[in-house]
Amino acid sequence: MSTPTLQEVLPRGTLQRFGIAGGFNTFLFWIIWEVLRISPVYTGTNETLLWSLSWLGSSVAAHFVHRVFTFDGRRNVKKTVLGAISVYAVGMMGSTLTFDAMLELLDHLPIRLLFLSNIAIWGLFTWASMRWLVFGYSKLEEE
């Protein structure tokens, strides 16, 4: 009995593999966000702007993490970068709007709980968009 490979346990393009890479990307996002919150930048801005800046910074790294680990490099990097920029731009706008709304409507909850909730919601959007629109996975390619 042989030990199963990573590809057999976690096939490329799956939500599980995206979750592992997304955990790294989210950690990077969180670090940027926390650093901005304790920096002098925070005194002149609000939470929503810090969210947007953190999203932008971590999105650049996320594309390459997903290209190498979650999906693969079959498609031309120019096309995947352009597609990823589009997905992350929509995600940034949407997540920023929902984060801002959560700050207003759910201000009694801890801000880090709002952070995690919003990341989870928009993570599903990003996975689906990256899987089918950017990296072009279909059922036939997975088999």
Domain with 34 in it: 14-136
Total tally of structural domains belonging to the chain: 1
Is residue 141, in this structure, part of any structural domain at all?
Answer: no
Average pLDDT of span 114-119? 92
Out of 39-43, 59-63, 114-118, which region has the weakest mean confidence (pLDDT)? Answer: 39-43
DSSP conformation class of 33? H
Average pLDDT of span 127-134? 86
Report the share of the chain in percent with pLDDT over 90: 24
pLDDT of residue 137: 64
Is residue 2, in this structure, part of any structural domain at all?
Answer: no
pLDDT bucket at 135, cuts 50 / 70 / 90: confident
75 φ, ψ to 5°? -85, 155
Work out the mean pLDDT of the chain and round it to a whole number.
84
- What does the block give as tokens for 68? 């190498």
* Cβ contacts of 91 within 8 Å, gap of 6 or more: 55, 59, 122, 125, 126, 129
Is residue 84, in this structure, part of any structural domain at all?
Answer: yes
Run of H or E residues at 127: helix 111-129
Is residue 1, in this structure, part of any structural domain at all?
Answer: no
**Widest CA span in the chain:** 61
User: In Å, how far from its chain's centre is CA 84?
Assistant: 10
Query: Tens of pLDDT along 67-101?
Result: 888 887 778 888 888 888 899 899 989 999 999 99
Residue 46 has pLDDT above 60, yes or no: yes
Q: How many CB atoms lie within 10 A of CB 79?
A: 12
